[in-house]
Structure 1
């Protein structure tokens, strides 16, 4: 990825969309298909990785 602001922006979008999918399905008591849940979980992981590594230095 290019700049730190790009990493943060993409990471926040991934976190927002993925968490809205999981929490929205849970609050409305709609069963979430396994494929959609897996994609949402990967979106959460990728978003947090992008936001966590957006700063300079060693991510811990």
Structure 2
């Protein structure tokens, strides 16, 4: 089994949750709830990508 550091695991989880939050944006309706979910998705993807990218020692990609 692959050993995933804790920070990378949290990053992967946030990326998955953020990706799932983009699903309501596919619909045609544009309510404020959809807008809030898109903003939350973008924030979670940004934080998840940062955590995953900086989980290993050394220079970040």
TM > 0.5 fold call: yes
Instruction: Show the 5 A alignment for 1:33-52.
Output: 33-52=34-53
Instruction: Show the 5 A alignment for 1:1-60.
Output: 5-22=5-22, 24-25=23-24, 26=26, 29=27, 31=29, 33-60=34-61
Q: Secondary structure at the match of 1:33?
A: helix
Distance (whole Å) between structure 2 residues aligned to residue 18 and residue 6 of structure 1: 18
How many residues in Structure 1 have an aligned counterpart in Structure 2? 54
Structure 2: 5+ residue stretches without partners: none
Distance (whole Å) between structure 1 residues aligned to residue 9 and residue 28 of structure 2: 29
In angstroms, what is the RMSD of aligned CA positions? 1.8
Structure 1 segments, 4+ long, off by >4 Å, are none
Structure 1: 5+ residue stretches without partners: none
Looking at CA atoms only, which structure, 1 or 2, has the larger radius of gyration? 2
What TM-score do the two structures reach when normalised by structure 1? 0.75
